[in-house]
Structure 1
């Protein structure tokens, strides 16, 4: 499936030591009570300041935890660190559990969803106001959907050799171009990640009743045993459907054909007013701010897409966190991962290894520019796999070089991709004197022979038997008991206590030194990225 694949494999074998992958994980999870209902408690003080803690923060809501690993070049270490974060938090929760599913627990009253509070500094108030905007734009229920982001980059040694192989002299420009090659192929073939790892084929009926959106395409099933549970028989990830995390980008098309084009399109989305959001307004009748602005996107962070180019931000950039004009791509953020309900930390090591292989494959494979015709079929493929990925004889469609459309069976095409990945796995395993990549790749090959082995197939079988809420509560308690017994591996309890205290001190220091009124600060902040 890759042109000149044998030539590339020969090059890889010769340069296997340069495939040094930098990676990191951001995992979200709701705090729930022991009865499985959403917690209405504020963020625990023993977890520190969510504004300044580098490992433990919040996302949209006070009850929506987010755990962040540092950048690692070792998969085992990264997984161990993520586990340590979970081990610490589980001991600090007060009669609470961590919800193990992407789709939230039953929420009886959406008014109980408290927007995350980041303190009284201008930086903190910006973060909270942005979330108020999300609440008014999309509703608070959508924002309680949890996911997992995987951050990925390759070493400069790799890029230097890859540039030489491709006879490119401008290495800096070539790196950004290479990451965009990867992004385009992720759009073309990334549905395989959703097929294999999607874990949200079902929802609670209360979620459907409270969630606005186009529901005509959803053909839900229900039985007398689980009246509060709705599911689609072949769905993989309702989190990624129109019922889940979606944007209103007013038909602005992101094609990812170049960094320049991406910046221009993003600028258009951030700069263009939306009639829908103009109706919400900037302030209410009591002069309270409702959102940052009335544009299609308040900030870059509001762009909900499967994968995004990113640059590293540093503390001095905190006062203008929405600088969108990326000069050079430094890493990629993969955003199409559901929470793995079978793992106490939301992801397992085989998933990480597979992601590494697949992302390298997307980079090495030829990646022509995407036009609007191809984009149409790309979106249709994703929608098909999201809603009916496990359907027997499921097909996907691709735009061929002669501009014709060709149909493939999903299982055949998926197996072809994994066959390619096996060759890459051998080379990476030889470099580390192991067979972990090959084993991971082989284990997922079976998913195409039997769709019930996929994460969505496995979790749906349990949900249909026990119901959505009961399944989530059972797994939450199982993970709670497991984590309680585990010992720290990389960090200690003292490390987390020290970070929590330091984060509280840093937030207090920031607030004490904040001398600019919020109105002036907001205007200056906004001008920094427009």
Structure 2
């Protein structure tokens, strides 16, 4: 059953536009040496200045490059850009250097103060030092995939014209639709963690002695042992989201609004306080582990599935406002249960997961999506029925002496060798001129 907005979109034959999200990808990986230790090499000079290059920058550590794609209209385009940027990074690595393909970091030094924080300018460096004092070096080291989604302008215009009494202007439409999306993704984060979680164990020295997990799990990174603050956001609406974060800063729980590392973030204004007035421009999804079966950390089918979910959330009824926090607090607890389950065992919420797959199948048929979506959903249904086919469970086949190091290095070497065979790696990051999005797209499309 569609919502009123969903009915409007369906009746205007615009459903296809609800999955035509502009998509940008951000993928972090660790640089390691040939033995699996965190690299001691400096930031690669051939990819420019980490402080000014928006497409190849650094995250928490100096050894954690982050690849950022320009916004793309289609999943395949986003992946095309990511592959080109990934190859440019690999071509710039020092001899013997590799990119670690797992979300959980490689073995860390016993003295973690040996790890080098990213050099991102005085303000960011001060923030990283303060963050480390509040948390730990280990907590900042897991890597993942962030997906930025922007709703097609046609949908925003259609909703604005169809509900003039409900929305006073375009910004109100944007804020409402992005809040609906955020609620949907937070509500079903546990589902995504089950399907794509890929961090079952930690390497040496990630946990302090006597701490951490006592058995493999689906996703350390997506559990309460994972990255970031445990501060919960308020996704009732955009103003509530901003107020909750601002309150966290005032109470000293957060050092700044940047420290809010929720599984979904509203984006659109560098000044968070102004976001409700200027309007959300996109959401950032932060709930995917690196997929080690891909050299770039994510697969095209995964992106298609995320787009399908987003379309489904827009078309179906939103949560009642009074119920948002209760439902999403419960969803956070569900996610932690799923993240900490044995990866080879059925999900505690298996029946709910199967019901969600069926709902998505009905929706995909209803709006006549292509056969590739049916195939994706069939594969994911098999993951729900057969937990041993999930990414985390598959990784357990390669554990040796409580470590995935041998597997990760084999993958890393294979991906590095393949990248070195690329005929025309992009060389445009080393000069003084930083390409803008349009220039970069033209170069990457060659």
Q: Note whether the superposition's TM-score is higher than 0.5.
A: yes
**1:153/1:332 contact within 8 Å kept:** yes
Residue 371 of structure 1 and its aligned partner are, at CA, apart by 5.4
Counterpart of 2:226 (choices 239, 244, 268) is 244
SS in 2 for 1:148: strand
Find the aligned partners of 1:465 and 1:428 in 2 and give their Cα distance: 49
**1:22 Cα deviation after fit:** 0.5
- State the partner residue of 1:379: 332
Question: What's 1:501 paired with?
Answer: 432
Tell me what 1:521 maps to. none
For this pair of structures, how many residues does the alignment match? 426
SS at match of 1:238: coil
Question: Separation in 2 of the partners of 1:485 and 1:429?
Answer: 40
Q: CA shift at 1:420, angstroms?
A: 2.5
Mapped partners of 1:332, 1:112: distance in 2:
35
Residue 102 of structure 2 aligns with which residue?
101
For 1:243 and 1:17, how far apart are their aligned partners in 2? 39
CA contact (8 A) 1:299 1:322 kept: no
CA distance in 2, matches of 1:160, 1:418: 30
In the TM superposition, what whole-angstrom CA distance separates every residue of 1:462-503 from its partner, at most 9, and x where no partner exists? 225883222221221121122222345xxx524344xx4325
Deviation, structure 1 residue 78: 1.0
Structure 1 residue 297 and structure 2 residue 250: aligned? no
Contact persistence 1:300–1:322 (CA under 8 A): no
Per the normalisation by structure 2, the TM-score is 0.87
C-alpha change, 1:247 and 1:453, in structure 2 (3 Å) is: same
CA change 1:188–1:392 in 2 (3 A) is same
Which of 154, 157, 160 pairs up with 1:160? 157
Query: Could you say if the C-alpha distance between residues 179 and 347 of structure 1 is closer, same or farther in structure 2, counting changes exceeding 3 Å?
Result: same
User: Which of 141, 144, 147 is the matching residue for 2:144?
Assistant: 147
Following superposition, the deviation at residue 54 of structure 1 comes to: 2.1
CA distance in 1, matches of 2:293, 2:384: 20
Q: Is 1:196 matched up with 2:198?
A: no
Q: TM-score, normalised by structure 1?
A: 0.74
Aligned to 1:225: none
Q: Distance in 1 between matches of 2:392 and 2:328?
A: 26
Cα distance in 2 between the residues matched to 1:134 and 1:12: 50
1:395-426 deviation per Cα after TM superposition (whole angstroms, max 9, x unaligned): 3xxxxxxxxxxxxxx22222222222234435
The equivalent of 1:35 in structure 2 is 35
Larger Rg: 1
CA shift, 1:165, in A, is 5.4
Task: Give the Cα–Cα distance (whole angstroms) in 2 for the partners of residues 70 and 440 of structure 1.
Answer: 25
- In the alignment, the residues of structure 1 paired with residue 366 and residue 243 of structure 2 have an alpha-carbon distance, to the nearest angstrom, of 39
Closer, same or farther in 2 for the Cα pair 1:323/1:180, shift >3 Å? closer
State how far apart, in whole Å, the 2-side matches of 1:356 and 1:389 are. 28
1:78-109 CA-partner distances (Å, limit 9, x unpaired): 10110011111111111200010111000123
For residue 260 of structure 1, what is the aligned residue in structure 2? Answer: 239
Q: Following the alignment from structure 2 to structure 1, what is the Cα–Cα distance between the partners of residues 373 and 4?
A: 19
Matched, 1:448 2:384: yes
**Is the 1:429–1:436 contact (alpha carbons within 8 Å) kept by the matching residues of 2?**
no
C-alpha change, 1:467 and 1:38, in structure 2 (3 Å) is: same
Native 8 Å contact 2:118 2:125 kept in 1:
yes
| Offset, 1:42 | 1.7
The alignment yields a C-alpha RMSD, in angstroms, of: 2.7
3-state secondary structure, aligned to 1:104: coil
Unaligned stretches of 5+ residues in structure 2: 436-446
Q: Name the residue aligned to 2:63.
A: 63
Residue of structure 2 in register with 1:354 after alignment: 305
Aligned to 1:172: 171
- CA 1:389–1:373: 2 relative to 1, 3 Å: farther
CA distance in 1, matches of 2:427, 2:6: 51
Distance 1:246 1:10, change over 3 A: closer
CA contact (8 A) 1:25 1:151 kept: yes
Whether contact under 8 Å (1:429, 1:437) holds in the other structure is no
Deviates more, 1:414-423 or 1:7-16: 7-16
Shift of 1:16: 3.5
